[in-house]
Amino acid sequence: MKPEIRSLAGGLAGAIVLNIIHEAAKRFSHKAPRIDKVGEEALTKSLHAVGASAPTGNALFGTTLAADIASNTMYYAMIGKGSKENLLLRGAGYGLFAGLGAVGLTQKLGLSDKPVTKTTETKVMTVAWYLLGGLAAAFVMQKVGEYEDSHGPILSI
């Protein structure tokens, strides 16, 4: 498997882990971050800025979820650049910085930060979940690489 494909596979794994945690937690805790609300606001404002209508209801949620998975996949895929020896450390770094960015940059980007900063616990959960996404991405990249090192390529693309 080409390194780029391995990185994308890991990035997708990290994005899926992140979104599963977000979606599950919001059903169990009112303090859970609502990054989906930030994404919906960003998508709506972006579409309105170019004169397009934004979807509403389930269509808005689905579109935002798809965009979130795609963007987080690409972000986490960057963990795969560099040496194999530092994958988990890079995964932790990328995840940590994404979480800190979600907490610290949302308002600076013109979006409501309340969904990710409403309590201290919300802030900690936001950072922790992005960190877990980065670690999941790096772990998948590492394990695919180890498998290929001992068994040969998974895909010949």
pLDDT tens, residue by residue, 69-126? 999 999 999 999 988 889 999 999 999 999 999 999 999 999 999 999 999 999 999 9
User: Does residue 155 lie in a domain region?
Assistant: no
Domain assignment present for residue 54? The answer is yes
**How many domains does the chain divide into?**
1
DSSP annotation of 112: -
Domain containing 56: what range?
A: 3-147
Give the C-alpha separation, 72 to 12, whole Å: 8
pLDDT at 149 over 80: no
Q: Note whether residue 60 is domain-resident.
A: yes
Q: Has residue 154 been placed in a domain?
A: no
Q: In angstroms, how far is the first alpha carbon of the chain from the final one?
A: 6
Question: In this predicted structure, what is the pLDDT of residue 84?
Answer: 84
pTM > 0.95: yes or no:
no
Q: Is the pLDDT of residue 155 over 90?
A: no
Reading the block at residue 41, the tokens are 């606001």
CA angle in degrees (0–180, nearest 5) for 65-56-100: 40
